[in-house]
Structure formats: structure tokens, C-alpha cells
Amino acid sequence: MSLRDAAFESMLQRRQLRGMIFEAIAFLAILIGLLTLALLFYDIITSGVERLSWDFLTSFPSRRASRAGILSALAGSVFLVSLMSIFAFPIGIGAAIYLEEYAPRGWLTDLIQVNIANLAGVPSIIYGLLGLGIFARLAEPITGGRTLLAGALTMALLVMPVVIIAAREAIRSVPSEIRLAALGLGATRWQMIRGHVLPYALPGILTGTILAISRALGETAPLITLGALTYVPFVPDGLRSQFTVLPIQIFNWVTRPQEAFHTNAAAAIIVLLAILLSMNALAIYLRYRFEKRLMK
């Protein structure tokens, strides 16, 4: 049979044309995304970079834009996510281990799984209301009301579904051969999990937790609902301290009429973005390192 078949070739040309059109559309899509992002960065950086200085990082907010800084917001953000991590990660990872390794398969487990996925999609302001009701009001004797502790607990609830889902995916990706190898050597279930499942799943779990932290760093709505303050001229000095966080500070500055405060807001956004991007970079780096160690 001849290799040159006119009918086939014209069809082939059409097929390849279609592929090229799709490729062009896909390229356009990513171009739009990247350009928007670049524009956003450019806009923020050009309007805020002049305001960035050591003083800006180490000053408290002030009525005068030129003297205002983000110290209390930065400290509040760091304390909040640290405290949140202490609550969210052990519980979230523990829940993931239970669901993947111990829970009997059945409608109840399925129901729980579906609902965790649903929880991840609940608007964050709902968590704020929940936190307000439970942690700030009901548990006021413990949390002290609208405090750092109440905020951290609320945020912990907010990121928990994300942590659980990421950890479960990571745990599920552990090959069953490794589990069987461990059990075949006379390991108990926990020895298998501790010795092999968790180390293997660690990069995935870590990535999930870092993404959860990033998410928490950027959240504003639930904390505003909870009643975090907008003017906090001090660094939190304990679990029951009043606090604010970077996004709230930014929000506050953006709503001021004076142009100088908008510049402050842009500078604060640069700081927040820098933190978020370095967290993501860390997640990628850790994942890469662990995978290399694991796979050789």
C-alpha cells in the first residue's frame, strides 16, 4: 500500500489543524493568567515599594500614614498561624490517618468523607460566624472573647478540611506493597503506619499543611466576623490578647481616603505576598527534597 494517500492526508491535515487550534487556545489561556498576575504584581510593587523599609516593618499603626507600620499585624499573623498550626495539624493529620487506615469502610465513613470535602468548600465567613458563636462567646471563659486564641481556633477549623484532604491523599498514595511488606514482617498496624506510611506520605502532608498556612495567612473575613481589631498598637502578649493580622491591616488602610494610606496598603501587600510566595516555595522545595531522599 502506498504511503501517500490523498484522502487520508487531507484528513490528517484537518486533524493536525484542530490540534494546533487547541494548542493556541490553551496558550492564550495561560498567557491571560500570567499577564494578569504580572500586571497585578507590577501595580502593587510600583505603588508600594517606596514605602518598604525597616521602620515600616517595626512600627505600630499610627494616625499619620508616614509613621504607620505593620509590626502588630505581622506579629499577629505569625502568632495566629503558629497557634493555628498547633491545633489544626495534629488533629487534621490524626483524622486523616484514622479515616485512611483504621475506619471501617461503610456508609458512615463515606458520609464523613463527603462532608469533609464539603466543609472545604464552605465560605470562610461561615467559619467566622461559627468561631464567634463558639470560641468568642460560648467559650469566653477560656478564650477570653475575641482574642488570639479564639482566632487561632477558628482558623484551625477553617483549614482542617484542607489538611485532612491533603493528608489523606498523601497517605492513600503509599503503595500497598509497602504496607504488605511491613505487615508481612510481623508489624502491627501502628508500627506499619509509623515506620513506613507516614514517612512516605510526609512530603504530601507537608505540602498540604503549608498550603493551609498560606490560606490562613490570607484570610480576612472570618477574623473580621470574629471581631479582630483594626487598630492594634501592640504585639500580642499572650493567648488571650487582642490582635490584628496583615489582611485586616491592609483592608483598614485601603478604606482610608488619604492616598498615603493606600501606599501603606500596597507596601503591606508586598510583605504579605512575599511571605505567601516563600511559603509556597518552601512547600515545593520540601516536597522535592523528600521525594529525592525517598526515591534516590
Partner 1 sequence: MTSQNIVQFDGPTILKAENVAVYYGDKQVLRDVMLSVPTHKITALIGPSGSGKSTLLRCFNRMNDLIRGARVEGQVTYHDQDLYDPEVDPVEVRRRIGMVFQKPNPFPKSIYENITWGARINGYRGTMDELVERSLRRAALWDEVKDRLHENALSLSGGQQQRLCIARAIAIEPEVILMDEPASALDPIATLKIEELMHELKENYTILIVTHNMQQAARVSDYTAMMMLTEDRNSATVIEFGKTQAIFTHPRDRRTEDYITGRIG
Give the shortest CB-193-to-partner 1 separation in angstroms. Answer: 12
Please say whether the beta carbons of 208 and 88 come within 8 A: no
* DSSP designation for 77: H
Q: Under the criterion CB under 8 A, does residue 6 sit at the interface with partner 1?
A: no
Which one, 196 or 262, has the nearer CB to partner 1?
Answer: 196
Give the shortest CB-177-to-partner 1 separation in angstroms. Answer: 4
In three state form, how does the secondary structure of 205-234 look? HHHHHHHHHHHHHHCCHHHHHHCCCCCCCC
Binding track, positions 159-198, relative to partner 1; x by CB under 8 A:
----------------x-xx-xxxxxxxxx--x---xx--
Which one, 13 or 188, has the nearer CB to partner 1?
Answer: 188
Give the shortest CB-173-to-partner 1 separation in angstroms. Answer: 12
Task: Look up residue 101 and give its three cell numbers.
Answer: 487506615
CA dist., res. 190 & res. 182, Å (int): 10
Please say whether the beta carbons of 264 and 51 come within 8 A: yes
Give the shortest CB-108-to-partner 1 separation in angstroms. Answer: 16
Interface with partner 1 in residues 198-217 (CB under 8 A): 200
Q: Under the criterion CB under 8 A, does residue 120 sit at the interface with partner 1?
A: no
Question: Residue 267, Cβ neighbours under 10 Å: how many?
Answer: 26
Give the shortest CB-282-to-partner 1 separation in angstroms. Answer: 23
* First-last CA distance in the chain: 49
Please say whether the beta carbons of 4 and 12 come within 8 A: no
Interface with partner 1 in residues 54-113 (CB under 8 A): 105
**Residue recorded with cell 527534597:** 289
Residue ranges in contact with partner 1 by CB under 8 A: 105, 175, 177-178, 180-188, 191, 195-196, 200, 294-296
